Amino acid sequence: MQDLRQPAHHRSRGSSRLASLFLVLAVMLGLAGGTSTAATDHTAEPARSAIRVPARAMDAVAAMQPSWNLGNTLDAIPHEENWGNPKVTRDLFTTIRGEGFRSVRIPVTWSDHQSATAPYTVDAAYMSRVKEVVDWALDEGLYVVLNVHHDSWQWIKKMPADHDGVLARFNSTWAQISETFREEPRTLLFESVNEPQFENATAEQKAQLLHELNTSFHKIVRSSGGGNSDRLLVLPTDGCTPSQNFMDDLYTTIKSLNDRHLIATVHYYSWYPFSINIAGGTHYDEAARNDLDDAFARMRDTFVARDIPVYLGEYGLLGYPDHNHPSRVERGEALKYYEHFGHAARLAGVTTALWDPGTWAYLNRETLKWTDPALIAWIKAGWTTRSGTASFDKVFVPKSEPITAKGVTLNLNGTRFRGLWHGKTELVEGRDYTLWDKTRLVLTAGALTRLTGDREYGVNATLQARFSRGLPWQIEVVTSDEPVLSDATGRTDAFTIPTQYKGDVLATMEARYGDGGNAGQTDWTPYQEFNKSFKPDYPNDAIVLTPEFLDALRDGEPVTLTFHFYSGEKLMYHVKKSADSVTGTRVTPAS
């Protein structure tokens, strides 16, 4: 994943061991031996691990499910703790194993710990640290995937302009890694490069360059001997993207290598508009569901059905979870994605690795506790079964109107609805709710009157829809009214719109000029990106328009903003920038 790109170009140089340097020079001079294509099957060394690695690659990758990423750590730039996570300890892997994960991917960025000129020596202390972390994970009985990570966009992408230099550095890097880890058990896998990319190149050139990197990686590892002679090797598509043309290219490469110990890898972060909440992607709708189904169908048909295993090296949502910022993705919609993802992966026979950037997302690396246990419960449930969901996880009850019956549509996902609970109390069908055609769940006016109580704005009650299997679906009963926006003045570096939310939740914002053109830094859609162009500030009763959004507006030209809320309410607002000053005016229905 490339979510943090703040490289500080400080390089740590040092001398490598003589044996590593000799192998590097041998590979660069073409003196290394040929490719092994039919190595003898064997199991992992009992002294290192109780895991008996299946001889067949498909079975070995299946045994790695589920998987987890040690993200933003050894791949951080320039050092392990620079992206907000503490130094790794063995206890971390004890925790991960105890939580049911069977493998870990350990991304490593080498460039700041490697000389930038031949022979591209990796600092011995850094190599030792990587090995220490890998060994801890192996000793905990986990499969480990080790790779070359952010190097992909730091220097490998320059291969079109510096073909020989990049290839020599890539080869040297893998020669040193191969030598260091050559006697590790087969529970250690190598991945050639994370999300490879090439600048200023045609599609055909990119395909050829990636083929060259993957085949060179394969030759170097196999030539290094020892446990590397039949180690499972992971090869990526262009950008680790699961597009059909990229997967076809990778399939061609894998078949050409004639090696039954190869694995294909891609990443999946959902349909882009939904994943970051842009272009109106506020719900896990049909477009998002189809994108996921199609991606897994391609993985299955291109690789799995042809006996090539797929290790989906990263998944999640690009904008969720992030406990340091307002949530871009509505919680229930995110849960529907994770539930669907787990089901589709199981159907396709794909092993999946959760991308965990650390403390602000999934696992708090300080406490070794999940930041959001309920979210992890949904992810875990998807490993083995389906759960029922609904069209939304909130029922909005307007305070300014008489209470009437309201409901949601259940997504049974192959389950059977068992009932509705409020705490330990089971609601009564017919009195508290009705169920139409097995899927339309409607709360009666009487039940909503009782549940909303004194009708204070916000969540008044949380219900559980329970199903014949899987997790219950939570439904929040929310008292709300139409939000109120107020006039404001400010500057481009600090402008907020006073907002009375009245229990509602902000979903997205449209921005248009008077001629209908899109306004803001995202010019291909009127729906701007959540947290990048605007964000709610619920504690301070405001909506923040970011400096990036305001700086992108045309000077002196009015812009109409339309704020969409999850209750269905839509409010319009005018802003105009004049130099570094900004004025905002609410639009009333009569104006």
- Architecture per CATH, domain 389-480, reads as Sandwich (2.60)
Q: What is the pLDDT of residues 459-480, one digit of tens each?
A: 999 999 999 999 999 999 999 9
SS3 per-residue string spanning 95-122: HHHHCCCCEEEECCCCHHHECCCCCCCE
Which secondary-structure segment (H or E) carries 250? helix 244-257
d(CA 121, CA 366): 33
User: Do 263 and 234 meet the contact criterion of CB atoms below 8 Å apart?
Assistant: yes
pLDDT given at position 26: 36
d(CA 402, CA 398): 8
Q: What is the pLDDT of residues 209-247, one digit of tens each?
A: 999 999 999 999 999 999 999 999 999 999 999 999 999
pLDDT given at position 62: 98
CA 264 to chain centre: 18
pLDDT given at position 51: 84
**Set 140, 195, 510, 529: catalytic member:** 195
pTM above 0.85, yes or no: yes
12 pLDDT above the threshold of 70: no
SS3 per-residue string spanning 38-94: CCCCCCCCCCCCCCCCCCCHHHHHHHCCCEEECCCCCCCCCCCCCCCCCCCCHHHHH
Nearest Cα to Cα of residue 345 among 287, 307, 387, 384: 384
64 pLDDT above the threshold of 50: yes
Q: What is the pLDDT of residues 417-476, one digit of tens each?
A: 999 999 999 999 999 999 999 999 999 999 999 999 999 999 999 999 999 999 999 999
252 pLDDT above the threshold of 70: yes
User: Do 207 and 256 meet the contact criterion of CB atoms below 8 Å apart?
Assistant: no
46 pLDDT above the threshold of 80: no
SS3 per-residue string spanning 299-366: HHHHCHHHCCCEEEEEECECCECCCCCCCCCCHHHHHHHHHHHHHHHHHHCCEEEECCCCCCCCEECC
591 pLDDT above the threshold of 70: no
Q: What is the pLDDT of residues 522-564, one digit of tens each?
A: 999 999 999 999 999 999 999 999 999 999 999 999 999 999 9
16 pLDDT above the threshold of 50: no
Assign 2 a pLDDT band (cuts: 50, 70, 90): low
pLDDT given at position 359: 84
d(CA 72, CA 52): 30
Assign 573 a pLDDT band (cuts: 50, 70, 90): very high
Domain ranges of the chain: 57-382, 389-480, 484-586
pLDDT given at position 18: 29
Assign 49 a pLDDT band (cuts: 50, 70, 90): low
Mean pLDDT of 62-79: 98
d(CA 60, CA 308): 11
Is 569 an annotated catalytic residue? no
Is 339 an annotated catalytic residue? no
27 pLDDT above the threshold of 50: no
- CA-to-CA separations, 79 to 111, 130, 156, 203, 256, in angstroms, rounded: 11, 12, 19, 34, 38
24 pLDDT above the threshold of 70: no
Assign 39 a pLDDT band (cuts: 50, 70, 90): very low
- Which segment of 39-43, 248-252, 468-472, 486-490 scores lowest on mean pLDDT? 39-43
**Set 80, 314, 330, 339: catalytic member:** 314
Neighbours of 253 (CB within 10 A): 20
304 pLDDT above the threshold of 90: yes
Compute the radius of gyration of the chain from its Cα atoms: 27
In CATH, what number does 57-382 get? 3.20.20.80
pLDDT given at position 332: 98
Q: What is the pLDDT of residues 347-378, one digit of tens each?
A: 999 999 999 999 899 999 999 999 999 999 99
Phi, psi of 574 (to 5 degrees): -105, 135
- Summary mean pLDDT of the chain: 92
d(CA 471, CA 418): 12
137 pLDDT above the threshold of 50: yes
d(CA 193, CA 195): 7
590 pLDDT above the threshold of 80: no
Residues 6+ apart with CB under 8 A from 439: 409, 410, 411, 412, 417
d(CA 314, CA 275): 14
Mean pLDDT of 23-47: 32
d(CA 171, CA 183): 19
159 pLDDT above the threshold of 50: yes
pLDDT given at position 356: 98
pLDDT given at position 130: 98
CA dihedral 262, 264, 265, 266 (to 10 degrees): 170
Assign 3 a pLDDT band (cuts: 50, 70, 90): very low
